[in-house]
Amino acid sequence: MRLVFMGTPDFAVPVLDAFLKAGDEIAAVYSQPPRPAGRGQKLTPSPVQAFAEQHGLPVRHPVSLKSADAQAEFAALKADAAIVVAYGLLLPKPILDAPKHGCFNLHASLLPRWRGAAPIQRAIMAGDLETGVCAMQMDVGLDTGPVLLREIVAITPRMTVSELHDELVRVGAPLMVRAVHGYAKGQIQPQAQSAEGVTYAAKLLKDEGRIDWTKSAIEIDRAVRALNPGIGTHFEINGERIKLLAAEPVAGSGAAGTALDDTGKIACGDGALNLLKLQRPGKTPVAIGDFLRGLPLPKGTRVG
C-alpha cells in the first residue's frame, strides 16, 4: 500500500518500522517540528523524524493542517491510507477524507475507555487491571471512530509506565499492520464503539506530580509508577524538592507525610509508603540507603 505515516514519539517508531517491513510504500512522514532539548536546548528532531531520515523517508512537520495549502499538499500524496500514532495534531475532515481508505489510528487503550491524550498513564493511576491497544478508523471526534482490531494487555501489580508502554507497542505494531491491510482487502469490518464505559484520559499537568500525602499509599504508588519518566513525582524536605522515582506501599499508620522510622517509610492518608529511589536537585538518582546517608529522615520528620 502507499501510505502516509503521522507520528512523533518513541511509541510510534515500531509501528512505522512494521509497515516498512511489511513492504508498504511510505510516501511521506508527518511529525512534530524539532524541539529544544538537553542542557544546550539544541533543536532535536522527534524520534519518528530521526527514524524516518535514517531510512531515507521524506519528512514534513507543518505546525497546522488547517490551511488549504497544507491540505492540498497532503491530498497530492494520493495515499491509500494514513497511519496516525501519537502525532500531536488534530486532523481536519479534508485530511481524514483524502486517502483512498481513510486514516487509521493506533490508540493505547481499550476504547471507549481512556479516550484522549494520556491513556497509558491514566490506566495505571486508576488501578486498572488491564488495558490494551485498538486499531481504529478515524473520524472527526476525539478517539470516537469504529474499531478494526483490539488486543488486551494485563497491567501487573508493579508495572511501570515504561514497561506498559513497551508491551503495548510490542503488540500494537503488528496489530496495526493486520488491521489496515485486512480492511483494505475487505477482510475486516470496523465495529462502532460502545456508548457505555466512556472515560477520558486528560492531558497530564505538572502539578499532578506533586505528592499529596493525604492520599492512600496505593494511590501515590500508582502515580509514581505512572508518571516516571514524564512529568515525574516529587515532594519537599525543608524546602528542597526531591524527585521520587520508585516506591512501594506497605502497612503503617501515622500523620500523613510523617516519617514512621529512619528507613524512608512515610505515613500516607491510608497505609504507608517505602521510598525506594530518589533524586536531589542536581544529583543523580540513588537508592534509599544512599539517599539517607546524605539527607537523613529521622522518625517524626515531616515531608511536604
220-229 tens-digit pLDDT: 999 999 999 9
Residue 287 has pLDDT above 90, yes or no: yes
What is the pLDDT at residue 106?
98
- For each of the domains in the chain, give its residue range(s) and CATH number, in order of start: 1-100 (3.40.50.170), 107-135+143-203 (3.40.50.170), 206-294 (3.10.25.10)
Closest to 83 measured CA to CA, from 141, 168, 10, 25:
25
CB 273 within 8 A of CB 249: yes
Pairing of strands 25-30, 2-7: parallel
Annotation-wise, does 3 bind a ligand? no
Q: Would the pLDDT of 157 be above 90?
A: yes
Q: 146 a known binding residue?
A: no
CA–CA distance, 118 with 227 (Å, rounded to integer): 10
- Mean pLDDT confidence for 174-189: 98
How far is CA 104 from its chain centroid? 18
Whole-number mean pLDDT of the chain?
97
Taking a C-beta distance cutoff of 8 angstroms, is the pair 113, 200 a contact? no
Ligand-binding annotation for 110, yes or no, is yes
Distance CA 116, CA 215 (A): 25
R_g of the chain, CA atoms, integer Å: 22
User: Does the pLDDT of residue 39 top 80, yes or no?
Assistant: no
Q: Is 111 annotated as a binding residue?
A: yes
Cα separation of 156 and 95, whole Å? 38
Dihedrals phi, psi of 161, to nearest 5 degrees: -65, -35
Question: Quick one: which of 112, 68, 75 has its CA closest to 96?
Answer: 75
* CB count in 10 Å sphere of residue 16: 27
Cβ partners under 8 Å of residue 153, min gap 6: 130, 131, 132, 133, 164, 167, 168, 171
pLDDT at 75: 98
Residues 6+ apart with CB under 8 A from 164: 120, 123, 124, 131, 153, 155
Find cell 509506565 and name the residue: 161
For residues 54-68, average pLDDT: 96
User: Is residue 166 pLDDT above 90, yes or no?
Assistant: yes
pTM assigned to the model:
0.94
Q: Place 104 in a pLDDT band, splitting at 50, 70 and 90.
A: very high
For residues 94 and 6, give the distance between their C-alpha atoms in angstroms, rounded to a whole number. 15
**Residue 41: pLDDT above 90?**
no
